[in-house]
Amino acid sequence: MTNPKKTMTSPIKIRGHTLLCFQGFRGEGYSREFVDNMATIHTQLNKDPTLKVLVIDSPDVVCSSCPNLKNHECHLHGKGSEEGMVVQDRDVMNRLGIKKGETLSWGEILTRINQKIRGEMLSKICGKCPWLPLGYCKEGIHHLGELSN
């Protein structure tokens, strides 16, 4: 991960669709470096819901260690994948009522996810995500709803 100490004092830059990915994270990913980075960020956010998150529609701190990131663009589904990711980011941000560049606490983001996203929506939101068929994010979003009830 980029400088972990900086993350604690500065907003953590997270792209729109990755806000949902955190709900299903189970220690799996594209590489060991990616998993370790995602786990570090996930742990920080879960330990302190007051942490500030700067929501963006471009590669973020999670993407920084992804082997599919090339020339600051996602290549998960080949060249041109970044365009689809940006559309996905903006869709999630729109659904959550978040503007590009807005900073919110992680707790506020979780509240919005719980209020506005249902697991059944993910097939439309997440498109060709290779993790979608595993159902982790759907279960995570359902669990988030159970926690607030």
Task: Tell me the pLDDT tens digit for each residue of 101-137.
Answer: 999 999 999 999 999 999 999 999 998 899 999 999 9
Cα 125 from chain centroid (whole Å)? 13
Residue-wise pLDDT tens digits, 32-88:
999 999 999 999 999 999 999 999 999 999 999 999 999 999 999 999 999 999 999
* Cα separation values, 147 from 140, 141, 142, Å: 10, 10, 9
pLDDT value at position 149? 63
Identify the burial level of 103 via C-beta atoms within 10 angstroms of its C-beta, where 0-12 means exposed, 13-18 middle and 19 or more buried.
middle
With residue 124 as reference, give the H or E element that holds it. Answer: helix 122-126
pLDDT value at position 146? 81
Grade residue 7 by pLDDT with cuts at 50, 70 and 90. very low
| Residue type at position 2 | T
Please give the average per-residue pLDDT across 2-20, as a whole number.
77
Region of residue 136 (left: phi > 0; alpha: psi -120 to 50; beta: else): alpha
pTM of the model: 0.90
pLDDT(6) > 60: no
CA–CA dist 108, 101 (Å, integer)? 15
Higher pLDDT, 8 or 67: 67
pLDDT(26) > 90: yes
